[in-house]
Amino acid sequence: MEQYVFGVRFGGYRCWPTALVLLGGVAVLAGVLAALAPAWTAARQDVSAGLSGRGTPPASRVRWLAVGLALVAGGAGLAAFGAAHISPAVILTGLILGELGLVCCTPTLIGVLAGLGRLLPLAPRIALRDASRNRAAAAPAICAVMAAVASSVALGGYLASNGARDARAYRPALPTGHLLVYPNRSAGQPTLAQVTDAARDQLGVDAVATVYAPDCAGTGYCEIAPVLPPSQVCPWQPGDRLSASHRQQARADPRCRTREADYPDGYVQPGVDDGTALPLLTGADPASTAAAAAVLRAGGVVVTDPRYLHDGLVTVRVDKMDAKPDRPATARDLPGYALPRAAGYSRLLLSTAAARQLGLDWSVSGWVVGTNTPPDEKRQARFAGALRSFGTFSLNVEHGGSPRDVSPLLLLLAAAAGLITVGAAGIATALAAAEGRAELTTLAAVGAAPAVRRLLAICQAGVIAGLGSVLGIVAGLGTAAIVLISVNRQYASAWPVPDPYPIRVPWPALGVLVLVPMVAMLGAGLFTRARLPIERRLD
């Protein structure tokens, strides 16, 4: 599972004794209650009616329905309150109370469905009536299915929403499909033509350009960045502790519209270019590329963030890290151009003339290759192998911000819930078949077809698995929606603005859980004997 599904090794398993003791106590309590429920129901039946086999369905008490509805409403509200105040314990308590409320409502729901069963054919009508008469056995099985399915759907909804949120917050480094080639250990510098030949042979493209990085020769590391004009500077910084009123002002200030995903804000990737690498680095259209190349040929600079452009100029500052404290940073106003709708990182591209004015040198840092679709690992390995005579290289491929594929984990959760569903349906169907043997004998006596017994088992499994799955899906989707909406409401006053969680339905998990009742019904049909029992009474 680790190697072929997730591609990573899991962490080591650890035991938490306190939690195991608590879980064991809950399991024992659940088993005792499950044993007491049918015993209590049997003790309340009429003795003569029970001995003669004339059991009647127990009456649904209104107070249990009222308690169940109150627990559902109270649990939902408590879970929402806990999510708004980031309290996992409160959220868990609310979810438990909500599911207990659904458990209390389940016997009443079975009785309502049994009353509607008179409109159905013989086999489903008998299955619903048997479930209503034996609610002490049917209700726990339905609730077990509901709990397993609800947990799987709720967690699946969160994973799907979190994956979509991560994709929305993703900041690409390049246009989708392009890749950067960086030398690791160089045995010799390949020329642009040699890199282009390797890309043409192994990747099927010849759109390659050299990427140059500026540096301060002889003075060590230096920081090269554009400077925001005063009219664009936000009064607050993302790391500041702000009061509620200041956060509200920051959210309303157009200068401070910074997403949390963009933190730390302000870093701009510098480079030196004459317009050759610009379209491959930014994905700019031909018209924008031509205008930007003209500015670079004239000795200007190009930025991909329009906030840095003011009055046709871009202020570029050079801070030498090893400079003396009394030596100010170098800053110049240079002719500039802002690329519209540029992909990739926020970039500052200097012309060679602008780099000289700032006292900078430049050197080859790598190559950018433009492909239509991201190459797979085999093609990347062949491309790197074609350049192996020049040393080792790192390839950074831009795959785009597509949502993270959580389908394997969703299917795993759904499979676990499906096993519980099939098991609960099988046990409940076997109990119903044992208790309904007398009715099967009556059906045989009046000439019913043998297949009626198998059809009855299919319907009994469908009642348990189907009703439990429907309740679990509704409860799971409601749980996920409550948690996500509550968290998003909390984000409504935060700054920098966090990306909200979108509401996503875990369709792979739902698809499996919809098929599980059919699997349970099919299993009941296959493993049930079609021959009706015939019993003779000897007087």
Q: Which residues contact 97 (CB under 8 A, 6 or more apart)?
A: 71, 74, 75, 78
| pLDDT given for residue 212 in this prediction | 92
First to last CA, the chain: 63
Question: CB neighbours (10 Å) of residue 392?
Answer: 13
| pLDDT given for residue 272 in this prediction | 93
Using CA atoms, how far residue 277 sits from 215, 225, 449, 450, in Å, is 18, 19, 79, 78
Distance CA 482, CA 503 (A): 10
| pLDDT given for residue 277 in this prediction | 92
| pLDDT given for residue 408 in this prediction | 77
| pLDDT given for residue 539 in this prediction | 47
Q: Which amino acid is at 514?
A: V
| pLDDT given for residue 534 in this prediction | 57
Ranges of the chain whose pLDDT falls below 70: 5, 34, 37-38, 41, 49-61, 83-84, 86-88, 186-187, 217-220, 239, 258-266, 321-329, 401-406, 432-450, 529-539
Using CA atoms, how far residue 63 sits from 76, 105, 173, 239, 512, in Å, is 20, 10, 61, 54, 36
| pLDDT given for residue 463 in this prediction | 86
Q: What totals of helices (H) and strands (E) does the chain contain, helices first?
A: 16, 10
| pLDDT given for residue 140 in this prediction | 80
Assess whether the previous peptide bond of 264 is cis (omega < 30° from 0): yes
